[in-house]
Every structure is written in structure tokens, then in C-alpha cells.
Amino acid sequence: MTQGPVELNAVLLSSDQVSEALRLCAQRRAGFQQQYPFESRWFRTEDGVQHYVDEGSGPPLLMVHGNPTWSFAWRHLIAGLRDRYRVIAVDHLGCGFSEKPQDESFYVLDRHIARLTGLVRALGLQGVTLFGHDWGGAIGMGCAGRMPDLFSRFVLMNTGAFRSQAIPLRIALCRIPVLGQVGDQGLNLFVRAALWMAVERPLSAAARAGLVAPYGSWQQRIAVHQFVQDIPLNSGHRSYAALCAVEQGLAQFRGRPMQLIWGMRDWCFTPREFLEGFLRHFPEARVERLSDAGHYVFEDAAERVLSVSRQFLQSTDGVV
């Protein structure tokens, strides 16, 4: 018998309900505090305690990051959109300022979706606009697929939410048993390599400090490694069924407002495989192709991403 999706309840926590270790972790913003001045908030599921930010008021925007980033990746959009919208950016379990339990079974697509779904319910969100990047596309669209009446619009960038056989060699190398784990968790190669391989322009010192800050030890990098292991390339993979369900759920959103923003120099979520894949599912989507931006499109073209996002939101406010 096929097992259904996991369901997890989320409980919002006050600061005094969070461990001192997590509070201290969230306060350590040396080198990037001016770029990430947001108040830390927390919620708990059966898997652990997660961190998120919740800024501004108005129609809710839910921002879902990928690997190996965290809510810091959305900082320019949070700051630029909170004047008119309620901007919520979550740190996945094992990422950012969230708890980092060492149980590998927590770091699978189904459970990432279930935890995000629990947060949406706990916050009582409606009319949500989803922003997704990298793994945030599959996780976010998976969440939307489980509660479609709560999601109205989508802004997706350099991501995927459907099956693909495309995996770059440099990612495949990180999946080699033992060797990949030593590189990802021991030497922090995945996080550090992304600082120059995922961008077309050199990152500022503050951006570099923020992107690496949560991943200072073997234990703190468990999610980074497990995300790489969780790419489902065949039907025998632990997350293949979950990704199939995400893909099957896409059709219900055809006709909803969608903005695709793509760094065209991305070697991972390539335009040919993934941007065109989304356009097959959503042929009426708006598309902004950024010819000089890479995978970290929010770094290479921060002002343009903010401008396009704001234009899309303002032109579709009240449409759905």
C-alpha cells in the first residue's frame, strides 16, 4: 500500500520558549548584521525548532530558500517589499538559524513540505504568494499543492518542481558515498564553492559572511549534505514519490499569476531544462530572463529581481 504524505503540526513559539543555544545562534550576525536586521521568530514541529522572519503587513509573501542558502538569501526582497506586504521567510530544518538534528530521516522532501505546510497553517495564512529558489521551488510548490486554496500567486527563480535527469557532474560528485560527505560536511566544500560557482559577480564581504554563517561545523552541515543526497533521479529513490506528487499538483495552478525570474548563466537549474520545463507547465507565465546572472540570481541581480517582483505583485494585487 502506498503511504500518504507526512503531516506535521507546527506550534508558534515565543522567544522565551526557545533554547538559549538557538537564541544565541540567531544573535551571531557579525559581518552581516546590517543586511539581516530582522527579528527572529520560531516554530516547532515534531522534527525540531525552526527559525523564520515575519516582516511588514499586508498580503502574505512566503519565501522558501534552497541549498545551501537560508532566509538570508531573501534579505533584499524582505527589506524592499515589507512596506506593502507581510514577508515571511523560513529557514528549513538544518539550515540557517533553525535547529540541526542529526537524524537523516528528517531531511527528505516529504518532511520539508510537511513542516512548511504546518507553518502556513499555524500562521493562518491565506492568499499566499510563494517565492521559491532552488529546492524552495519543489518544497514550496509541494506545500501549495497540499493546500491550493491558500495560494494565489507564484514567483519562482532558478528552481525545479518536477522530475529531471539533469544533474551536473560537480553535484553528482557530492553524492559519492563517504567522499561526498567528507567534502560537504567535513570540509564545507559545497557551501564555500557556491560562493563563487553560483554567481557571476564577486560577492560582497557581508554576503559571503551571511551565506556561510550557519554552517560552521560537521553537525551544522547535515542538511547541506542531505539535500544533495535527496535529489530523486529514479523511482527507487526515497523522495521520488514525493516529487511525483509535487509535479502532479502543478496543473491545478495553471492560470494563476506566475512570474519566472531566471539567471540565464545557471549551470545547475539550467534554462533549457528547468525554465523551459516550467513554461511547459505554465505557458502563460511571465518571464524575466537575466542574461548576466547565475544561480544566485538574488545576488547577481538583486535590484532587478526586486523591481520585477514588485511590478508583478502590484499588477496582480486583487486579481486572485
Q: What is the pLDDT of residues 8-63, one digit of tens each?
A: 999 999 999 999 999 999 999 999 999 999 999 999 999 999 999 999 999 999 99
Beta carbons of 60 and 75 less than 8 angstroms apart: no
Q: What is the predicted pLDDT for the residue at 4?
A: 77
Q: Residue 113 carries which DSSP code?
A: H
Rounded to the nearest integer, the mean pLDDT of the chain is: 96
Beta carbons of 38 and 91 less than 8 angstroms apart: no
Longest CA span, the chain: 52
Q: Is the pLDDT of residue 1 over 50?
A: no
Known catalytic residue at 134:
yes
Known catalytic residue at 237:
no
Interacting residues of 46 by C-beta distance below 8 A, sequence separation 6+: 8, 9
pLDDT digits (tens, 9 = 90+) for 249-266: 999 999 999 999 999 999
| Domain assignments of the chain as residue spans, ordered by start | 11-316
Q: Considering the domain 11-316 in this protein, what is its CATH number?
A: 3.40.50.1820
Q: Which of 54, 134, 230, 300 is catalytic?
A: 134
Calpha distance 252→255 (Å, rounded): 8
Average pLDDT over residues 134-162: 98
Rounded to two decimals, the pTM is 0.97
Rg (CA), the chain: 18
pLDDT digits (tens, 9 = 90+) for 268-306: 999 999 999 999 999 999 999 999 999 999 999 999 999
Q: What is the predicted pLDDT for the residue at 318?
A: 77
Known catalytic residue at 266:
yes
Per-residue cell: 261: 525570474
